Amino acid sequence: DTGVSQNPRHKITKRGQNVTFRCDPISEHNRLYWYRQTLGQGPEFLTYFQNEAQLEKSRLLSDRFSAERPKGSFSTLEIQRTEQGDSAMYLCASSLSGQAYGYTFGSGTRLTVV
Partner 1 sequence: KNQVEQSPQSLIILEGKNCTLQCNYTVSPFSNLRWYKQDTGRGPVSLTIMTFSENTKSNGRYTATLDADTKQSSLHITASQLSDSASYICVVTLPMDSNYQLIWGAGTKLIIKP
Contact residues for partner 1, defined by CB under 8 A: 4, 6, 31, 33, 40-45, 48, 55-56, 89, 91, 93, 98-101, 103-108, 110
**Alpha carbon distance 23, 15 (integer Å):** 23
Whether the link from the prior residue into 8 is cis, omega within 30° of 0, is yes
| Residue with Cβ nearer partner 1 (76 or 110) | 110
Instruction: Give the shortest CB-75-to-partner 1 separation in angstroms.
Output: 14
How are beta strands 53-57 and 109-113 bridged, if at all? unpaired
Instruction: Give the shortest CB-21-to-partner 1 separation in angstroms.
Output: 13
